[in-house]
């Protein structure tokens, strides 16, 4: 269950410090989610390493604006990637470099939908958009689904939504530190923040509240682990040791196995939440994405 070991570089030592002393206070004390969204988009887009040889194009998937990322020489594997950001920030812009690295490692094309965000668009806007995008993509053949943090929650939730809509289930799942349950008063992920490097409790509670907007957190269409999952596709889960979402990552693995899935779980020590976003600037991120790519490649190309 431990992630693959290897040499650490300066990035592996730098990014945890950056997460703790720059990103965490920014999340905690920026009063406007609109401003925070802009800060996140710009700093990640400019600060992370671009992936060469990836063609970008804007498309519509079921009416949802989407960024398609196609590496040169890619095969027929197709990945729907759902970005994280606590349901209130994040975008195709913030995640396009990381997902480009994943697509290249997987040897297929990735689609990054711009699902609607809270607080302007609370639940169920985001999962409705994800379902529309997935329905459009799955009409053309098998689709793998991946997501980080809140995007991991949406990826897990899609199993419920697809079953209700009569759609085929994903051919595989890749979950990066997924949120599994949004009931924060009943053992949710914010109960273990003492070793969390990045996510401040103040911001976590705000984002969940903004997303639910009074909706029942025990609804499995919002909290996918609130009820047995209807299917169990092959799954890879990665999370950082000691992060607040470690509990949800392990609970997700248990729920997927109960639904019949073959699940591999990898834990990486010393890394911040969703460290994979530092691909090209962190050995740990590169190792994690190489593992993600190999997993997706093995499930994504029917030829």
Separation between Cα atoms, residue 39 and residue 31, nearest integer Å: 12
Q: Let me know: does 133 contact 226? Beta carbons within 8 Å.
A: no
In the chain, the largest separation of any two C-alpha atoms, in whole Å, equals: 50
Yes or no: say if 37 and 118 are a contact pair by the CB < 8 Å rule: no
What is the model's pLDDT at position 74? 86
Q: Which of 140, 116, 111, 144 is nearest to 128 (CA)?
A: 116
Active site residues: 149, 243, 273
CATH 3.40.50.1820 fits 10-300, yes or no: yes
Contact 260, 198 (CB under 8 A): no
Instruction: Find out whether 240 and 268 touch, Cβ atoms under 8 Å.
Output: yes
pLDDT, position 302? 47
At residue 184, the pLDDT reads 84
Tokens of 76: 């027929």
Residues 6+ apart with CB under 8 A from 266: 1, 2, 3, 4, 236, 237, 238, 239, 288, 291
Mean pLDDT in each 10-residue stretch from start to end of the chain (303 residues)? 63 88 94 93 90 96 97 92 97 96 96 98 98 97 97 98 97 97 78 83 93 96 96 95 93 97 96 95 95 93 48
CA atoms within 13 A on the CB side of 232: 14
Q: Is the pTM of this model over 0.75?
A: yes
Per-residue tokens: 220:
């499995």
Per-residue model confidence as pLDDT tens digits over 277-301: 999 999 999 999 999 999 999 987 5
In angstroms, rounded to a whole number, what is the distance separating the alpha carbons of residues 120 and 128? 15
CA distance 136 to 121: 22
- Strand, helix or coil at 218? coil
């Amino acid at each position: 269950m431990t992630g693959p070991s290897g040499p650490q570089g300066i990035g592996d030592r730098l990014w945890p410090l950056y997460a703790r002393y720059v990103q965490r206070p920014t999340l905690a004390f920026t009063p406007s989610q609109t401003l925070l969204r802009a800060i996140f988009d710009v700093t990640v887009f400019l600060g992370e390493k671009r992936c060469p040889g990836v063609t970008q194009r804007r498309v519509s998937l079921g009416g949802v604006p989407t960024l398609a990322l196609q590496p040169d020489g890619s095969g027929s594997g197709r990945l729907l990637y759902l970005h994280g950001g606590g349901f209130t920030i994040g975008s195709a812009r913030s995640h396009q470099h990381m997902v480009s690295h994943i697509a290249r490692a997987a040897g297929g094309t990735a689609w990054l939908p711009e699902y609607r965000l809270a607080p302007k668009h609370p639940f169920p806007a985001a999962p409705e958009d994800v379902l529309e995008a997935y329905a459009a993509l799955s009409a053309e053949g098998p689709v793998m689904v991946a997501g980080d943090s809140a995007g991991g929650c949406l990826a897990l939730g899609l199993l419920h939504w697809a079953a209700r809509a009569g759609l085929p289930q994903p051919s595989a799942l890749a979950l990066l530190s997924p949120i599994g349950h949004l009931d924060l008063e009943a053992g949710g992920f914010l109960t273990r923040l003492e070793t969390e490097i990045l996510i401040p409790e103040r911001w976590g509670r705000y984002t969940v509240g903004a997303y639910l907007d009074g909706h029942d957190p025990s609804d499995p269409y919002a909290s996918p682990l609130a009820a047995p999952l209807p299917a169990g596709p092959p799954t890879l889960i990665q999370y950082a040791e000691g992060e607040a979402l470690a509990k949800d990552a392990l609970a997700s693995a248990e729920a997927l196995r109960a639904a019949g899935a073959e699940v591999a779980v990898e834990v990486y020590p010393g890394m911040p939440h969703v460290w994979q976003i530092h691909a090209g600037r962190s050995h740990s991120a590169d190792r994690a994405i190489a593992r993600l790519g190999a997993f997706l490649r093995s499930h994504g190309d029917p030829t």
